[in-house]
A and B are shown apart, each in its own frame.
Chain A
Amino acid sequence: MMVIETLSLINLILSVLILAVIFMVYSVYKRVYLLWFILSFSIVPFIFAYSLVWSPRGISKMGVVVYPISVIVIEISMLIAQKNLISSIKSGEEEEYQLLLRDDVAILRGYEQLANFFISRIVPLIGTNSIKELLESRIEKYPVLSGSYIGVDERLNTGALEEIVGKIEVEELSVAFYELISGLLELYSAFVPLENTVDELRNGTGRVMEKNVLLFDWVVPIVLFKTVLEPVLRKCRREDIMEVAILINRSKSRVKIDREGKIDISELYRGYPEKDRVGFIIEKFLYVLNKMRSIVQQSIGEENTNSMITENFRKMPTNIKERLYGEGLVEKLPNGILEEEKVTLMSREKLIEELVERRKKLEDAYRELAEAELGKMKATFLDVVAHELRTPLTSIKTYVELFKKGKLGRLTKTQKEKLDIMEKNVDKLTNLINDMLQIPSVDIKELELRKEKFPARDFIEEVVEDCSTLLHEKKQSVSISVPPALVVQGDRNLLGKAIKNIIGNAIKYTSDGGKIKIYARADGDKVHIKVKDNGIGMSDDEIERIFDPFYTGDKKSGGMGLGLPIVKNIVEGHGGRVWAESKVGKGSTFHLLLPGGKND
């Protein structure tokens, strides 16, 4: 019994899941027949729940009748659902038509609708007899049409074909229907002017296509040849038509033209490609158009030909026209045809390109603006913070000095020692704040006032001298190679600070007894200074970031990572450039390109 209970439970769960999915289908596609399916299937979980309850005790003889009765109810609901679905498809409305109907049935119905469109135009003129005769003759020629008939409602009925459509080639069906529709067009044109017949053909195809987009591939040859080319050809002189007919009929285009200028495209449907049918038809159409154009132009004039073809294109139903233009037909048409449309399409493409370019520029500008704003905000923030910190620090330092001088009472030895440490840290903090204040860009206007020319060699030697204590401590040697005539132009104080910073770093990251070399040479109107050490070096990743504020890398230097950003600000403020080269374990070289000048 356990096995049956387990199986019942699994089946119960599965049936609930199936029911849930059908309900989900209904939620995206609300149709009555789906409700019937839901109703019929909703009984199933109850059957298994019933089995689950009765299994341990065994189903009683009367209890078992529940099963066939439930199945009968399910089957009845299922039948109603199926009938509903069939009538819903038959009505051919909205998505039902596109979503559910088989492609070949949809195409067959499309042809039927197109034929009925013309039958409804012809019947009031001559009744149904001629149409019936036409249909019979076509059935004789094309047995694929067998079973279709003109009903009492005076409409073509292809219900019998629907039953076997799966066994018929769509190409075969298309040839047969093309012949039938051509016959109907001929019948109609016997009573109305050719222009009206062509207009009705445009209307008919446009209307059928609205509901049945699948028909497009099969109707497009009719539209292109019968509504664009044929009306123009039939305006030509008889001898010119004959000339065109000989030219085209002998070609490999598979298009035939008779002496009256009627175009027969039935052969095009035979061997219709499975993919890119529209491309194939456009190619054939352009071939025929180009071949016949010169003869037609001789007959009715170049301007006339172009304007008639253009006019015929423009009269096409919008839905067909849009799809054809979308396939790139317009661009391939010879000069003089649909010129305005070509310009519009071209300018549309150009417009899109320009819009894309403008958008890119706008995005770049926005990004730059955002970065600039952020930089400005950072600078203001640092400025405010630094100033707010400096004021209390000045006060602390003053009191420390007063304490140390004994102005505020006598101090013990330990207190003095602690005050020394305190003073040292206050100085350290003050230096840091001073550095932070230099992070914002150097004020160029102020800098201009402080600019001077000075010999590079003296200037570098002075800076090295400033660092001598550190150099002695680490027993490092410095060699300076600077031509005596080389002159640097700028704020001596600021540039000194920048060079000192770089030399300081070189000393810091070079081991005891290491060597530091400083070179300088003229580079155009600039002075190129190189500070080279044989220290620990940096990785490429570090080099990229060393000029970012507060970047300290992996080294435990104890600094705040403000030295090099300050150097960068000072050098760039002078219109110069600073960069670094390095190899891990082999040392680093810092390059400074500073404004130079001649010694006065």
Chain B
Amino acid sequence: MEKIQVAMLLLNSVVVILAAFSFYYFSRLMKLVKVRRGGILATSGIFLLMGYVFFIMPWIAVGESIAVMEEFSYVLILVAFTIMLYGVIRIYLDWKGAIR
């Protein structure tokens, strides 16, 4: 195993742990908060995670980038951002209406 693979494995285990914490807080929030767009944000979060996994996996597995997987990960992230943009715009419109 190359040095880069070990480094990526270690760093990404921290990422996974933090993601687990984040998920825990997110599910707690969803129990309390009536963010009607929570589902949209969660969907975009899943796509984002998948995109990251596809991007980082070749670096952990073979220690270098695989072009096809990298492209695919960027597409997934693009989908995630599109959904997220829609979600945050809806939240903005909801809150703007409610506060004024």
List residues of A whose CB falls within 8 A of some B CB: 3-4, 7-8, 10-11, 14-15, 17-18, 21-22, 24-25, 28-29, 58-59, 61-62, 64-65, 67-69, 71-72, 75-76, 78-79, 82-83, 85-86, 89, 95, 98-103, 105, 162-163, 165-166
Whether B61 sits at the interface, judged by CB under 8 Å, is no
**1/0 per residue B54-75: CB within 8 Å of A?**
0110010001110100110011
**1/0 per residue B3-35: CB within 8 Å of A?**
010011001101100110110011011011111
Contacts of A61 in B (CB 8 A): 4, 63-64
Contact in complex: B92, A21 (CB < 8 Å)? yes
Contacts of A78 in B (CB 8 A): 22
Report the minimal beta-carbon distance from B42 to chain A, rounded to whole angstroms.
13
Q: Which of A11, A28, A76, A100 contacts B74 (CB 8 A)?
A: A11
List residues of B whose CB falls within 8 A of some A CB: 4, 7-8, 11-12, 14-15, 18-19, 21-22, 25-26, 28-29, 31-35, 52, 55-56, 59, 63-65, 67, 70-71, 74-75, 77-78, 81-82, 84-85, 88-89, 91-92, 95-96, 98-100
Contact in complex: A72, B14 (CB < 8 Å)? yes
Please report the number of residue pairs spanning A and B whose Cβ atoms sit closer than 8 angstroms. Answer: 123
Contacts of A89 in B (CB 8 A): 29, 32-33
Contact in complex: A86, B85 (CB < 8 Å)? no
Contact in complex: B32, A101 (CB < 8 Å)? yes
Contact in complex: B56, A7 (CB < 8 Å)? no
Contact in complex: B85, A21 (CB < 8 Å)? yes
**Complex CA distance for A285 and B75, rounded to whole angstroms:** 61
Closest to B14 in A: A72
Name which of A24, A68, A102, A103 has the most chain B CB atoms within 10 A of its CB: A68
Q: Which of A14, A25, A98 contacts B92 (CB 8 A)?
A: A25
Contacts of A105 in B (CB 8 A): 31-32
Contact in complex: A102, B88 (CB < 8 Å)? no
* 5 A-B interface contacts by CB (under 8 A): A7-B71, A22-B88, A61-B63, A68-B12, A82-B25
**Complex CA distance for A89 and B33, rounded to whole angstroms:** 8
Contacts of A28 in B (CB 8 A): 92, 95-96, 99-100
**Complex CA distance for A497 and B100, rounded to whole angstroms:** 68
Q: Which of B19, B70, B78, B89 contacts A21 (CB 8 A)?
A: B89
Known contacts A61-B4, A65-B7, A71-B15: A86-B95 contact under CB 8 Å: no
Known contacts A61-B63, A89-B32, A163-B31: A72-B92 contact under CB 8 Å: no
Contacts of A25 in B (CB 8 A): 88, 91-92, 95
Report the minimal beta-carbon distance from A80 to chain B, rounded to whole angstroms.
10
